[in-house]
Amino acid sequence: MTTLVEVRNVGKSFPGVRALHQVSFGLAPGEVHALMGENGAGKSTLMKILAGIYQRDSGDVLVNGASVDIASPRQAQALGIGIIHQELNLMNHLTAAQNIFIGREPRRGFGLFLDEGKLNADADAVFKQMKVDIAPTATVGDLTVARQQLVEIAKALSFHSKVLIMDEPTAALNDAEVAQLFSIIADLKAQGVGVVYITHKMDEVKRIADRVTIMRDGETVATLDAKSTPIETIISLMVGRDLADVGRVAPAGAPGDEVLRVTGLNRGKAVRDVSFALRKGEILGFAGLMGAGRTEVARAIFGADKIDSGEIQVHGAPVRIDTPADAVRHGLAYLSEDRKRFGLVTPMNVEENVTMASWSRFLAGGFFMRASALAEVADGYVEQLRVKTPSIRQETRLLSGGNQQKVVIAKWLARDCDILFFDEPTRGIDVGAKAEIYKLLRALAEQGRAIVVISSELPEVMRLSHRILVMCEGRITGELPGDGATQEAIMRLATQREARAA
Amino acid sequence: MDALATPTAAPAPQERPALMSSGTKQKLLAFAGLVAILVFFSLASPNFLQKDNIFGILQSTSVNGVLAVGCTFVIISAGIDLSVGTLMTFTAVMCGVVLTNWGMPLILGVVAAIFFGAFTGMVSGLVIAKMKVPPFIATLGMMLLLKGLALVIANDKPIYFNDTPNFSMISIDSLLGAIVPWLDIPNGVLILFIVAILAAIVLNKTLLGRYVFALGSNEEAARLSGVNVDFWKVVIYSLNGAICGVAGLLIASRLNSAQPALGQGYELDAIAAVVIGGTSLSGGRGTVLGTIIGSFIISTLTNGLRIMSVAQEWQLVVTGLIIIIAVYGDILRKAKA
């Protein structure tokens, strides 16, 4: 079989880490080859080697059968390898056309001036080929994420790429957008383009992939036929063990008294007339598509964004929350999906992060920090939550995603918060760490804390929650019991758009 | 009073997509602000709208305006250059060395100023791009270093251009006046406008300009797209340096001397002009026209307040407030969008 790209026994190490070891992988023309594995399995490293961002330490890379060294992104492009990174790499202030042709702008006037006309015409031609209607002169920052992604794809195609690498391209897309992306991928296949498709989503592999290669701990474990291989096989190869019982997480037993009641919460178009109640010991799930307004609800309650109207009661008494500080004083905590940006101070150590929300309690004489008390509290939580860290003096940036998440949880527990909002608590952490977080959520609920979990993974919401609230376009479109809800029922509510009057 | 009220009239509700980009609006707002200031001072003092005074404003804008145009490139690329003030002085001193100490012809003095400006800018660019020193620190270092070098080279004394009689031609004389007698705008002002027009063309029509925006918008994306980010950074800082050399010539010509102790503080006025003109300090957004308007706002304000006999201390207070208000206005508008 001819291959567009072949990787043979490639190895790559970073200081202290062996990222890739004896990795082999091939891509045929017109093939969609899925690449799966837990976080840290080496998928992105492998792709970055193909894209010329990293250099391999050993092994061979063959393009069209010839051995090559891909020294730079530019050389990868010249070899016909295009990559669409997970974090979109676009310049928001520039137009779509300017982004597509960055680094190889057409010029006129003895090469002195940019040829904006040709630039836009060329971009338009690429969009036409993809059958999408994006104006070449549209400013990228004004486009939706899905359309920005299409600009990225257009950019890759404009190099006449024969190989397209997509790193979790559907992470931020809704169903209709995913369908459009898949139809574009089908067109590309028909033209003989090979697609490497990195994903965590099993259903996508089943829908579009021809073959699937599974990576674990920097090695390629297996390459299988995507259609005929059962999902369970893929998962067990990814994890390297059979997953323990994937039963329900929500503790049995009736939740206690009501601790939080939100009535008629409104914030622009993002949050519209949201009302719900939360009980002691309860885990309440918020499901919905990206952009449905779940995060916005949490942020509005937490005082991070100003609300237009609405009433919030904590333990039965109406409270006024204008700032996050107010929310924390009332025992509310919000654990952001973006831990690095909003939850953790990564250059600081575990102890500092655990105690930072409650530093004012550790003052001696109102001025000096009581170092021993700080350490005691931090040690206590590290033990209670089983944070894997060599010591409480370890900088948090050196911890794994799951352990970082635990440190953030510890911070709010140390602050006596008993109403906890978890926004995508397992995003970006691997299957093993996920199970740990689930156990922790269950323990927290059993201890009588009230928990809201926002999650885009339906199986996760269903396992975790006593009740599931589904949102669409800023409204709560329905409530389902966690036990007995089906993915179909949730999706129906999540796509239940408002019938537009007028 | 009406004239003052108009530009700050209640903002129209912004439900639908904006008709103008945020940058265009900031420019219009800055321009309206400049008009408001002009109208205000015209009404407040009969001396303001005199030809001599207007020319004075133009002349005093030329140096800061040219510096600010250079800074516009750097700031749109998400960099900063704190050394432009002392770099300007350094180029003036080098020009003095070539013309006065060595007795070379005028043209070589001009070349020297621009060359040393570009060269020094290139050094800053290399320190930033290759040594990865943050621009703020790199150019803070360059600011002090150049100040010291200028003093050492000039031996702590001004260098006068008495042996180069044509030197005043650069800034003070009026080429236009020789053709149209009543339009005797000083050459310095002419140079400001030429520099601004060329800069606007480079920024909007050339590869360099495109990469200035690309770097400021998302440097990593540009790098991954195969753009030689380091190279273009060096080019941007070199260009800024060359433009500082032009400013050095302007100020030396106006004072008929290179004053080695001068210069520090000019960088902040230049950055202020850029920011008032709507260029984002976080990069990716900005225009030369905005910067020119920003420069004129600062110099008109200074001039008008002086004519109204406002103490210099208070002039600073007002300028400071204007900077904060201008940027706050920008933030408010962006929050609404």
How far is CA B310 from each of CA B50, B302, B305, B322, rounded to the nearest angstrom?
A: 19, 9, 5, 16
User: Which SS3 state, helix, strand or coil, does residue A262 take?
Assistant: strand
When pLDDT is cut at 50, 70 and 90, the band that residue A292 belongs to is confident
Task: Write b or e for each residue in B100-123: b if 16 or more Cβ atoms lie within 10 A of its Cβ, otherwise e.
Answer: beeebebeebbebbbbbbbebbbb
How many whole angstroms separate alpha carbon A94 and alpha carbon A90? 8
Is the predicted pLDDT of residue A3 greater than 80, yes or no?
A: yes
Mean pLDDT of chain A, nearest integer: 86
SS3 sequence, A295-330? HHHHHHHCCCCCCCEEEEEECCEEECCCCHHHHHHC
How many whole angstroms separate alpha carbon A228 and alpha carbon A21? 28
Q: Which of A77, A90, A139 sits opposite B221 (nearest CB)?
A: A90
Nearest CA in chain A to B228: A103
User: Which SS3 state, helix, strand or coil, does residue A117 take?
Assistant: helix
Distance from CA of A19 to the nearest CA of B (A): 21
How far is CA B337 from each of CA A248, A441, B47, B331, rounded to the nearest angstrom?
A: 43, 38, 42, 10
When pLDDT is cut at 50, 70 and 90, the band that residue A428 belongs to is low
Is the predicted pLDDT of residue A276 greater than 90, yes or no?
A: yes
Query: What angle do the packed helices B51-76 and B266-276 form, to 10 degrees?
Result: 80
Contact A93 B285 (CB under 8 A): yes
pLDDT (average), residues A340-365: 79
Distance from CA of B80 to the nearest CA of A (A): 19
The verdict on B216 touching A (C-beta cutoff 8 Å) is yes
What sign does the dihedral B26-B28-B31-B32 (CA atoms) show? negative
Token output for A141: 């920052």
Is the predicted pLDDT of residue A499 greater than 60, yes or no?
A: no
Contact B226 A103 (CB under 8 A): yes
pLDDT (average), residues A366-385: 84
How many whole angstroms separate alpha carbon B22 and alpha carbon A496? 35
The verdict on A138 touching B (C-beta cutoff 8 Å) is no
Contact B224 A53 (CB under 8 A): yes
Token output for A152: 């990225």
The reply to whether domains A5-239 and A251-331+418-496 share a CATH topology is yes
DSSP A190-251: HTT-EEEEE-S-HHHHHHH-SEEEEEETTEEEEEEETTTS-HHHHHHHHHSSPPP-----SP
Nearest CA in chain B to A115: B205
The verdict on B13 touching A (C-beta cutoff 8 Å) is no
User: Using alpha carbons only, what angle is made at residue A403 by residues A400 and A409, rounded to the nearest 5 degrees?
Assistant: 145
Contact A102 B214 (CB under 8 A): yes
Nearest CA in chain B to A90: B221
Decide if A431 contacts A239 (C-beta within 8 A): yes
- Which residues from A are below 8 Å from B223, CB to CB? 73
Surface of A (89-108) touching B: CB under 8 A: 89-94, 98, 102-105, 107
What sign does the dihedral B246-B249-B252-B254 (CA atoms) show? negative
Q: What is the pTM of this model?
A: 0.75
How many whole angstroms separate alpha carbon B104 and alpha carbon A310? 78
**What is the pLDDT, as a whole number, of residue A498?**
65
**What is the pLDDT, as a whole number, of residue A246?**
52
For residue range A136-169, list pLDDT tens digits in order: 999 998 888 888 988 998 998 888 889 999 988 8
The verdict on A158 touching B (C-beta cutoff 8 Å) is no
Nearest CA in chain B to A98: B210
**What is the pLDDT, as a whole number, of residue A500?**
44
Mutation target to probe the A interface, by most A beta carbons within 10 A, among B206, B207, B225 is B225
Nearest CA in chain B to A54: B224
The Cβ of residue A86 has, within 10 Å, a number of other Cβ atoms equal to 15
**What is the pLDDT, as a whole number, of residue B96?**
95
**What is the pLDDT, as a whole number, of residue B12?**
35
Q: Which of A102, A139, A155 sits opposite B227 (nearest CB)?
A: A102
Decide if A419 contacts A329 (C-beta within 8 A): no
* CATH number belonging to domain A5-239: 3.40.50.300
Decide if B100 contacts B154 (C-beta within 8 A): no
Q: Could you list the pLDDT tens digit for every one of the 337 residues in chain B?
A: 333 333 333 333 333 344 455 556 667 778 888 999 999 999 998 889 888 899 989 998 999 999 999 999 999 999 999 999 999 999 999 999 999 999 999 999 999 999 999 999 999 999 999 999 999 999 999 999 999 999 999 999 999 998 888 888 888 888 888 888 888 889 999 999 999 999 999 999 999 999 999 999 999 888 888 888 999 999 999 999 999 999 999 999 999 999 999 998 999 999 999 998 888 888 998 999 999 999 999 999 989 998 888 888 888 898 889 888 888 877 776 665 5
CATH number (3.40.190.10, 3.40.50.300, 3.40.50.970, 3.30.1360.40) of A251-331+418-496 reads 3.40.50.300
**What is the pLDDT, as a whole number, of residue B8?**
37
Contact B213 A77 (CB under 8 A): no
The tokens 């051995």 sit on which residue? A67
For residue range A43-101, list pLDDT tens digits in order: 888 999 999 989 999 999 999 989 999 998 889 988 999 988 877 789 999 999 999 99
Contact B284 A92 (CB under 8 A): yes
Contact A102 B21 (CB under 8 A): no
Q: What is the complex's ipTM, to 2 decimals?
A: 0.79
Domains and CATH numbers, chain B: 47-336 (1.10.3470)
Distance from CA of A436 to the nearest CA of B (A): 35
For residue range A443-493, list pLDDT tens digits in order: 889 888 999 999 877 778 888 899 999 998 899 999 999 888 887 788 788
Q: Which of A53, A74, A91 sits opposite B214 (nearest CB)?
A: A91
**What is the pLDDT, as a whole number, of residue A247?**
62
- Which residues from A are below 8 Å from B203, CB to CB? none
H/E stretch holding A420: strand A419-423
Is the predicted pLDDT of residue A23 greater than 90, yes or no?
A: yes
How many whole angstroms separate alpha carbon A324 and alpha carbon A411? 15
Token output for A265: 């919460």
**What is the pLDDT, as a whole number, of residue A483?**
83
Token output for B252: 């030396």
What are the residue ranges spanned by the domains of chain A? 5-239, 251-331+418-496, 346-410
